Amino acid sequence: MPVQRLNHAVLYVRDVERSHAFYRDVLGLRAKMEIPGAAVFLQAEGSTNDHDLGLFQIGAGAGASEAGRRTVGLYHLAWEVDTLAELSRIRDALLQAGALVGASDHATTKALYAQDPDGLEFEVSWLLPADLITPEVTEGAAITAPLDLEREIARYGAQTRGGVGVSVAV
Q: Does 110 reside within a domain? A: yes
Residue 104, C-beta contacts closer than 8 angstroms, at least 6 positions apart = 110, 111, 113, 144, 145, 146, 147
Domain harbouring 24, CATH code: 3.10.180.10
pTM, two decimals, is 0.92
Q: Does 52 reside within a domain? A: yes
- How distant, in Å, are the alpha carbons of 7, 9, 165, 168 from that of 3? 10, 15, 19, 17
For 41, other C-beta atoms within 10 Å of its C-beta total: 21
pLDDT score, position 146: 95
Structural domain boundaries enclosing 42? 7-59
Q: For the chain, what is the domain count?
A: 2
SS3 content of the chain, % helix, strand, coil (to 5): 25, 30, 45
Alpha helices in the chain (DSSP H): 16-27, 84-97, 135-138, 149-156
pLDDT score, position 140: 65
Q: Does 163 reside within a domain? A: yes
Q: Does 69 reside within a domain? A: no
Q: What span, in angstroms and rounded, lies between the C-alpha atoms of 79 and 117?
A: 17
Residues of the chain short of pLDDT 70, as ranges, are 140-141
Q: Does 70 reside within a domain? A: no
Q: Does 67 reside within a domain? A: no
